Chains A and B, each alone.
Chain A
């Protein structure tokens, strides 16, 4: 049975041979790498000039560590991909059906099986070790005691922030108390909650750790700021208090809900402003100063 198809014919055709003779052997070997470099170079350049292809510039301390891990995986998987595909395509061309050449009769090789089981296992477990190390250092670490505490409650379809006021403490809260009148579930018997103030913008001082107390009023929402490499679902019925990060660059960002939460999900976002410590203090003083009676402030929250 001759099964020489167009693909095989092409590789044996004069045109292809002509191409071969024109290119020296070395260039032919380097060609794929050249292409890869061109592609890589273009996308690198594209990343520099616009945000079309690649990661948004990182703007938090933990984010830098996460990016290092991401790049490491990028190189690892990229290397594995190129290596396997080059070998694979080489096999496909070399072992194409040829007249009079019979396939090798082989059912396998146990030593090879052992090798290609052991090596990936080692790599994957090593990668897990590295990932887990970062997870422990960046995500699971206890927030520093001088961190700015901010309460964030998500609801269909907006975010509301609560700052601790003059005393620097948010005070006790309980998810059971969350309602339209009390978005943050503040325990009003606790005096520390009295001077808390709310904001529609997440205003943050640069280079100071921020500790988020995350709640949801109705369905599952998410707290996602791509530049900070931070994501956490906000789950109704529980308070999530392990999210913390340190913004490192002054600028405007967007806090987006990234968990489908209903028909208004597409536009559920809030502004994040990272400012200098002085600007932050100024903003904070203005917010604290009017100090309206607590009841009024709560009503404002509920709209």
Chain B
């Protein structure tokens, strides 16, 4: 498959772009500057990290249901910082498990899946460009990301093991080896996050430049497909938010290793400074993790409803509103931090306001399926589930936006349920939808529909069985990051629920097996994909699957918006962006 990518188009554009015909093995697969190959490199590495992050999650769940019971089979093989002599997870080891689960899933899985995979693959193809604006930068961005992953995972072998102060790394716990006991691991965390930040900045610069400068003739901004809009807004968020985190990670590294005291609790430092810097990045990050998924889902819902997206401009403005407001809501992570109580009131207000554009998007998705002719293919199932899960995640966010209620449920499992509804039921379901949808274009073969449905049903079911009861745990006051809930009077009675959740989580872990088998099997044995298997209108579907190096043989001209489905008066129910509407047909402009 990768061979086809490298060959089929190289005569056409490869020569003009790279100045040579034949690429060496190294340049084709390792240091490739083709955005499609880079997207696939991102995809393979993130799927690997997803397995790592998933196994860490299984460890977390095992400990909560069966605290103090030796880990079956592998308990004796695990390093001393992770398990006690009997082979059960130690409390410190448990802290490392959830710290790395979140770090891996956020920085090495969801973010690169959305921004790295879909950003790289879709932007040039959907705007009609031959490649990214800075192909070298693009390859650099991937390898920086990959390095950051290796650095973060290398902490497994560090003395005293992986960092254990949470993915939020609140100082001064994180900034003093004496407090956290994992100086080496925590230092590696800082370095890994710093490198990851460089990768994001390189990527974001590229995306913005490409979208602004390299659109095909006729591709006006308001004719961009919604995934491109979402990725553009995301790129701006990355560019403005990630440097703050990188700087903070560098300061934390200095505190840890060189005796500075930016964040220390003695009379020289300010622990809340870390939280402000972290959440100034952290909240836009939440939207970085969901906006591209919203874009992907919008496109898929339109395609499989055979309808134009409802309220295209409202969708775009909502994306911008979320992006803009995303920068003034970070304080809602800090209502109980010791921040001024007046400030909490203002952050509560901006947080309530940011719920409005999310509501608008939800109503527009419902408007899109209204009056449609809906086909329940696997990508559509995931996209439709995304909407419902996002509604749950959004509504549970309102509890936290309300300051007095937040006081009670902050740092409980309610928040764990909330973020997983947004990040798994939202972002990851969107990612799965996108993978099933663009797989034919990426690899030139179709994925198996039946096993896709099996994956969907299992994932949907176990996801809800795992995460919904966590709301109840939280309402009963189950604290986050507690290695052994049975030590607390008010938590002991809910242990049966903990065990239920853990069994469901194992089911959720196993539900990805059909996906992985389907993914790798179809790559070699799946039926060959036609140019346009979903009868879709955007530009990538006018190209062979997979498209050649350099993408377009002739630069396409764009005549209208991206979602012209079921246009009255036309035989076929879709009108690709590069085909002018027949004279007899009147397109409505909204």
List A residues at the B interface (Cβ < 8 Å).
Answer: 1, 3, 5-8, 43, 50-56, 63, 65-66, 69-70, 73, 76-77, 80-81, 84-85, 87-88, 91-92, 95-98, 101-109, 112-113, 116-117, 120-121, 124-125, 127-128, 130-132, 134-136, 138-140, 156, 176, 216, 218-220, 222, 224, 226-227, 229-238, 240, 242, 252-254, 256, 258-267, 269
The contact of B173 among A219, A222, A269, by CB within 8 Å, is A219
The contact of B355 among A112, A124, A258, A264, by CB within 8 Å, is A124
Given the interface pairs A81-B395, A117-B360, the reply to whether A128 lies near B472 with Cβ below 8 Å is no
Residues of A within 8 A of B180 (CB): 262
Residue of B nearest to A49 (CB): B493
**How far apart are the CA atoms of A220 and B395 in the complex, in Å?**
30
The contact of A108 among B311, B392, B395, by CB within 8 Å, is B311
Contact B312 A108 (CB under 8 A): yes
Contact B488 A256 (CB under 8 A): yes
Q: How far is the CB of A258 from chain B (nearest CB, A)?
A: 4
Given the interface pairs A124-B352, A227-B490, A254-B489, the reply to whether A91 lies near B370 with Cβ below 8 Å is yes
Contact A87 B366 (CB under 8 A): yes
Q: How far is the CB of B393 from chain A (nearest CB, A)?
A: 11
Residue of A nearest to B492 (CB): A51
Contact A92 B179 (CB under 8 A): no
Contact A106 B307 (CB under 8 A): yes
List B residues at the A interface (Cβ < 8 Å).
Answer: 90-92, 94-95, 164-166, 170, 172-173, 176, 179-181, 264-267, 269-272, 305-314, 336-338, 341-342, 344-345, 348-349, 352-353, 355-356, 359-360, 362-364, 366-367, 369-377, 384, 387-388, 391-392, 395-396, 398-399, 401-405, 407-408, 410-412, 453, 472, 475-477, 479-484, 487-490, 493-494, 496-497, 535, 565-568, 573, 588-590
Provide 21 A-B residue pairs closer than 8 Å at the C-beta atoms, listed in order of the A residue. Answer: A70-B405, A76-B398, A104-B372, A105-B308, A108-B312, A112-B367, A113-B364, A121-B353, A121-B356, A134-B403, A139-B403, A139-B407, A219-B170, A226-B477, A232-B338, A236-B265, A237-B270, A253-B489, A256-B479, A260-B165, A263-B90
Q: How far is the CB of B252 from chain A (nearest CB, A)?
A: 14
The contact of B374 among A92, A233, A267, by CB within 8 Å, is A92
Residue of A nearest to B450 (CB): A6
**How far apart are the CA atoms of A251 and B49 in the complex, in Å?**
48
**How far apart are the CA atoms of A269 and B487 in the complex, in Å?**
9
The contact of A216 among B91, B265, B366, by CB within 8 Å, is B265
Q: How far is the CB of A263 from chain B (nearest CB, A)?
A: 4
The contact of A258 among B308, B373, B480, B483, by CB within 8 Å, is B480
Contact A266 B372 (CB under 8 A): no
Contact A70 B408 (CB under 8 A): yes
Contact A242 B172 (CB under 8 A): no
Q: How far is the CB of B469 from chain A (nearest CB, A)?
A: 8
Residues of B within 8 A of A76 (CB): 398
Given the interface pairs A7-B376, A131-B404, A269-B487, the reply to whether A108 lies near B590 with Cβ below 8 Å is yes
Residues of B within 8 A of A234 (CB): 338
Contact A262 B371 (CB under 8 A): no
Residues of A within 8 A of B453 (CB): 6
Contact B348 A132 (CB under 8 A): yes
Contact B373 A97 (CB under 8 A): yes
Q: Which 5 A-B pairs have the closest CB atoms?
A: A236-B265, A226-B477, A104-B371, A107-B590, A263-B92
Residues of B within 8 A of A242 (CB): 341
Contact A231 B407 (CB under 8 A): yes
Residues of A within 8 A of B95 (CB): 260, 262-263, 265
**How far apart are the CA atoms of A14 and B395 in the complex, in Å?**
38
Contact B373 A101 (CB under 8 A): yes
Residues of A within 8 A of B170 (CB): 219-220, 259-260
Residues of A within 8 A of B407 (CB): 66, 139, 229-231
Contact A3 B375 (CB under 8 A): yes
Q: Apart from A128-B402, A233-B336, what are 8 other A-B pairs with CB-CB below 8 Å? A: A52-B496, A85-B388, A95-B369, A98-B373, A103-B573, A132-B345, A240-B338, A258-B479
Q: How far is the CB of A123 from chain B (nearest CB, A)?
A: 9
Contact A116 B476 (CB under 8 A): no
Residue of A nearest to B366 (CB): A88
Residues of A within 8 A of B338 (CB): 232-235, 238, 240
**How far apart are the CA atoms of A253 and B95 in the complex, in Å?**
25
Residues of B within 8 A of A259 (CB): 170, 411
Main secondary structure of the interface of A (DSSP, over half): mixed
**How far apart are the CA atoms of A5 and B449 in the complex, in Å?**
10
Q: How far is the CB of A145 from chain B (nearest CB, A)?
A: 20
Q: Find the residue from A50, A53, A140 having the highest chain B CB count within 10 A.
A: A53
Residues of B within 8 A of A269 (CB): 487-488
The contact of B353 among A103, A105, A124, by CB within 8 Å, is A124
Residue of B nearest to A239 (CB): B338
**How far apart are the CA atoms of A140 and B407 in the complex, in Å?**
12
Q: How far is the CB of B510 from chain A (nearest CB, A)?
A: 22
Contact A222 B312 (CB under 8 A): no
Q: How far is the CB of B260 from chain A (nearest CB, A)?
A: 15
The contact of B371 among A7, A103, A218, by CB within 8 Å, is A103
**How far apart are the CA atoms of A140 and B489 in the complex, in Å?**
30
Residues of B within 8 A of A236 (CB): 172, 264-266, 271
The contact of B384 among A92, A98, A256, by CB within 8 Å, is A92
Residues of A within 8 A of B313 (CB): 108
Contact B314 A108 (CB under 8 A): yes
Given the interface pairs A73-B405, A107-B588, A139-B341, the reply to whether A84 lies near B367 with Cβ below 8 Å is no
Residue of A nearest to B494 (CB): A52
Q: How far is the CB of A156 from chain B (nearest CB, A)?
A: 7
Residues of A within 8 A of B173 (CB): 219-220, 260-262
Contact B376 A128 (CB under 8 A): no
Residues of A within 8 A of B376 (CB): 3, 5, 7-8, 96
Contact A95 B371 (CB under 8 A): yes
Residues of B within 8 A of A54 (CB): 472, 475-476
Q: How far is the CB of B445 from chain A (nearest CB, A)?
A: 19
Residue of A nearest to B489 (CB): A254
Contact A266 B476 (CB under 8 A): no
**How far apart are the CA atoms of A66 and B370 in the complex, in Å?**
39
Contact B403 A81 (CB under 8 A): no
Q: How far is the CB of B587 from chain A (nearest CB, A)?
A: 9
Residue of B nearest to A223 (CB): B336
Contact A95 B336 (CB under 8 A): no
Q: Find the residue from A63, A81, A91, A227 having the highest chain B CB count within 10 A.
A: A91
Given the interface pairs A97-B375, A220-B170, A269-B488, the reply to whether A50 lies near B341 with Cβ below 8 Å is no
Contact B352 A125 (CB under 8 A): yes
Contact A77 B396 (CB under 8 A): yes
Q: How far is the CB of B171 from chain A (nearest CB, A)?
A: 8
Residues of B within 8 A of A252 (CB): 489
Contact A266 B94 (CB under 8 A): yes
Residues of A within 8 A of B481 (CB): 260, 265
Q: Find the residue from B91, B164, B403, B488 having the highest chain A CB count within 10 A.
A: B403
**How far apart are the CA atoms of A71 and B528 in the complex, in Å?**
54
Residue of A nearest to B172 (CB): A219
**How far apart are the CA atoms of A120 and B312 in the complex, in Å?**
19
Residues of B within 8 A of A176 (CB): 267
Residues of A within 8 A of B342 (CB): 140
Contact A103 B490 (CB under 8 A): no
Residue of A nearest to B306 (CB): A103
Contact A135 B590 (CB under 8 A): no
Contact B369 A91 (CB under 8 A): yes
**How far apart are the CA atoms of A56 and B479 in the complex, in Å?**
13
**How far apart are the CA atoms of A176 and B265 in the complex, in Å?**
10
**How far apart are the CA atoms of A199 and B349 in the complex, in Å?**
40
Q: How far is the CB of A124 from chain B (nearest CB, A)?
A: 4
Residues of A within 8 A of B391 (CB): 81, 84-85
Q: How far is the CB of B574 from chain A (nearest CB, A)?
A: 10
Residues of B within 8 A of A135 (CB): 341, 344-345, 348, 403-404
